[in-house]
Amino acid sequence: MLISVAATALLGATVGATVLSAPASASPAPVSPTPTASPGLGAPTGACVIDADNTEVTVQSLRHGCSSEQIMDLYLQASAGQAPAGTKTIVLLPVFEVRGKPISYGTAKALTTTQNLLGDSLTFTAGPNNTPWVYKDYIWGRDAGGELVFGDSRIDGRPAWSADFSRDFGGRPISLHEYRKLTDDVWIGRDIGGGQSTNGHTGGAFALY
Spatial CB neighbours of 4, under 8 Å, sequence gap ≥ 6: none
Kindly report, residue by residue over 25-36, the tens digit of the pLDDT: 333 333 444 444
Residue 61 above 90 pLDDT? yes
Residue 14 above 50 pLDDT? no
**Choice between 64 and 15, residue whose per-residue pLDDT is larger:** 64
Residue 20 above 50 pLDDT? no
- What's the Rg (C-alpha) of the chain? 15
pLDDT reported for residue 42: 59
Q: Going along 153-197, which residue ranges are E strands?
A: 159-164, 176-181, 187-191
Residue 51 above 60 pLDDT? yes
Residue 86 above 80 pLDDT? yes
Across 63-74, average pLDDT: 95
